[in-house]
Amino acid sequence: MITHTTHRRKLDADLPTTAEVEALLAKCSRRAPTGKRNRALLAVYWRSGLRCQEGLDLAVKDIDFEAGTITVQRGKGQKLRRVGMDSGTSALIQQWLDARQRLRLGPSAPLFCTLRGDPVDPSYVRHLMKRLTRKAGIGKRIHAHALRHRYAVDLVNEGATLTTVQALLGHSSAATTSVYLSRLGSSEAVDFARSREWA
């Protein structure tokens, strides 16, 4: 029988470390527009705790640099929530927006779109994660949702309460959060996530 504690230990053991996530980001090209896009997208998953599709559904208008927030228009259960955006993630998104502008992509294209302005398919993200993991020499399977889990565990390690993490991840039940540790929505949770430093 798998107990809650056993499940949590297994989950934590399977999680990518901070160093491993940073290694994935480092393997994204710093020059190519796709590299800038991919690095910003992975940072959003890791540093703001978005689900894979939530990140791909973001619009340019959902990013508020002044407030340091990302608005998820249609989260799980079609719920709207706001999450904090730290300065490191903000800088990577800005680099991608600059590249987007040079590509002359209009504001109607999804934030993280193809170089022609089309939506990015989730299967692309799955293949991207496999490719980056291999290039980084990481011997474990890492998927986009694992970055969300890493985010939740990091929040707890930094002193966030279960309620704050529950709000940031958008969980309707604290029981779900306690098993998996995730999410954001209240102003307190937004402030907590926005103040986290990563450069």
82 forms beta bridges with: 71
Residue 51 annotated in active site: yes
Is 148 in the active site? yes
Of 148, 149, 183, 194, which is the active-site residue? 148
Judge whether 7 counts as a catalytic residue: no
Q: Look up 143 and say whether it is catalytic.
A: no
Beta bridge mates, 110: 59
Q: In the structure encoding, which two tokens stand for residue 16, read together?
A: 């990518």
Domain 4-194 indexed as CATH 3.30.450.40? no
Is 10 a residue whose pLDDT tops 50? no
Which tokens go with 68? 């340091």
Q: What is the CA radius of gyration of the chain?
A: 16
Q: Which pLDDT tens digit goes with each residue over 39-48?
A: 999 999 999 8
Higher pLDDT pick, 94 / 166: 94
61 part of the active site: no
How is the chain split into domains, by residue range? 4-194
Higher model confidence: residue 107 or residue 45?
45
* Burial grade of 2 (CB within 10 A; 0-12, 13-18, 19 or more): exposed
Is residue 132 within 8 Å of 22, Cβ to Cβ? no
